[in-house]
Structure 1
């Protein structure tokens, strides 16, 4: 199986183009003002205009009010929502949009019970636990706690970078990986070379798995 890749925390049009050129499957925009990777709706619109068809446009929210999410949906051509806070299932379901729910991997063994609360989620993003942070913590979690056989796609996040993503994929076999700080030169500023290396490592481990 080919591992999909989402490059999250894009803040510049040039970085979106670099992610696309490297072959990413999705681009994530942080619509959570406290984050160093946050963008305004105007900035988000300019970034999304750089994306060709078949690259998924993801809007990340963290404990945002209904009005804020609705305003983003009216202003931006988003394909997928990502809820990264303490949103209850009914809040995530309210917009009639496909969404991912982030699962903070704080305690071993609790991921399955957490995911069962969100039957309408299209997938789950398993991330390192950072209170009040919309991802981008730069920290991994214990991959041994990966829940394995789940009936919906699982996305691995948390502390991934070009030097560990192959090992992470080999250990967990996720549907997709999500990277933000691991391909940056500075918070919110992506490094095209690191993006390319990250993508190359994902492709390498996928080839090795297919040949095994």
Structure 2
């Protein structure tokens, strides 16, 4: 069953709606440049209200390893999602006490071997592939080119668990799941009415589309 992460949570009502709809994980963005920025106290208050078995993920772009560890501990975050090239192998190894998802945005010249090398250097086996943008670290609504996405996921199945992000919404996520077969999918802008404000109907439709793709993939095999 494809895992579902709803990212850019800023309001408790959105967190609860996503949880009830069937999301496996919720993302809390700590990038100071993001329109979905949430501060530590707000994130902690929302996470305290989450039902059991829903995973809280912190999204980091500018923070040092020490800041990441402190924020995860204070807010109750279980996973640190690293969205910047500043998080090289050496820096990532300094992030202790929390699991890591390393984000890769395949731009010109990107190769799967870079992911394999990072995994070998850090022990990290969880990745997220997002659309490349020279101006933003994520949440742009842009999609990874279909053949590139399939090559990325086919090339990392033997050593990691990867999520697909980038432009996913209720109207296209089922096709992406069937075509790419990711371990999980991640959306932010695709289920919003405004940056940081989720749309309950879009969330439910997104989850339903993923589950329908899962069922159809099972039935066809």
- Tell me the TM-score normalised to structure 1 length: 0.94
Q: Which deviates more, 170-179 or 124-133?
A: 124-133
SS in 2 for 1:118: helix
Residues 104-119 of structure 1 mapped to structure 2, 5 A cutoff? 104-107=105-108, 110-119=111-120
The 1-side partners of 2:63 and 2:204 are apart by: 33
Q: Is 1:88 the equivalent of 2:88? A: yes
**Residue in 2 that maps onto 1:142:** 145
CA distance in 2, matches of 1:19, 1:94: 32
1:136 match: secondary structure: coil
How many residue pairs were aligned?
211
Task: Judge which range, 193-202 or 45-54, deviates more.
Answer: 45-54
Give yes or no for the alignment of 1:127 onto 2:130: yes
TM-score by structure 2 length?
0.91
1:106: how far off? 1.1
Partner of 1:200: 208
Distance 1:98 1:210, change over 3 A: same
Distance in 2 between the 1:131 and 1:67 partners?
A: 27
Query: Displaced runs of 4+ in structure 1, greater than 6 A?
Result: none
Q: Check if 1:209 corresponds to 2:217.
A: yes
Residue 51 in 1 paired to residue 54 in 2? no
- In the other structure, the counterpart of 2:103 is 102
**Where does residue 65 of structure 2 map in the other structure?**
66
Extract unaligned runs of 5+ from structure 2: none
Instruction: Name the counterpart of 2:189.
Output: 181
Separation in structure 2 between the aligned mates of residue 122 and residue 110 of structure 1, nearest angstrom? 17
Please report how far the alpha carbon of residue 64 of structure 1 lies from its aligned counterpart in structure 2 after TM superposition.
1.4
CA contact (8 A) 2:119 2:125 kept: no
| Residues 128-174 of structure 1 deviation map (CA, whole Å, 9 limit, x = unaligned) | 01235232110001121132142111100000000000111111000
List alignment gaps of at least 5 residues for structure 1: none
